[in-house]
């Protein structure tokens, strides 16, 4: 990993950690988030996955449009550091631990 890639990764990680911590207290059933990125094309490849405890908590979050707010919050936090998610609908996904089992 190049030095610039490490800086980008650290910026992404720090920004998303702040988003995660703020969402834990606000969105019922939200537990954590993760990301993956191809450093050769950060803005198009960055994928953020928001994890919920149950299918029901995810369903409720979607009904209340909280998932849209969550994606927007992540996009805004990253944009402050000139990292832009080009297509939040495709690059921000919402999963549950029930689906992962």
How many domains does the chain divide into?
Answer: 1
Give the single-character DSSP code of 36: E
Q: Give the pLDDT confidence of 45-101 residue by residue, as tens digits.
A: 999 999 999 999 999 999 999 999 999 999 999 999 999 999 999 999 999 987 655
Residue 19 neighbours by CB under 8 Å, 6+ apart: 33, 70, 73, 74, 77
Which CATH number characterizes residue 79's domain?
Answer: 3.30.300.30
CB-based contact 50:95 (threshold 8 Å): yes
Residue 58 neighbours by CB under 8 Å, 6+ apart: 29, 52, 67, 94, 95, 96
Model pTM?
Answer: 0.92
Range of the domain at 50: 3-100
Nearest-Å Rg of the Cα atoms of the chain is 13
């Amino acid at each position: 990993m190049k030095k610039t890639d490490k800086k980008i990764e650290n910026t992404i990680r720090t920004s998303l950690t702040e988003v995660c911590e703020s969402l834990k207290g606000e969105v019922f059933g939200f537990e954590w988030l993760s990301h993956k990125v191809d450093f050769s094309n950060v803005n198009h490849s960055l994928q953020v996955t928001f994890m919920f405890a149950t299918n029901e908590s995810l369903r409720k979050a979607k009904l209340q449009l909280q998932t849209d707010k969550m994606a927007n919050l992540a996009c805004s936090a990253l944009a402050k550091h000139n990292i832009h998610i080009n297509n939040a609908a495709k690059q921000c996904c919402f999963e549950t631990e029930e689906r992962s089992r």
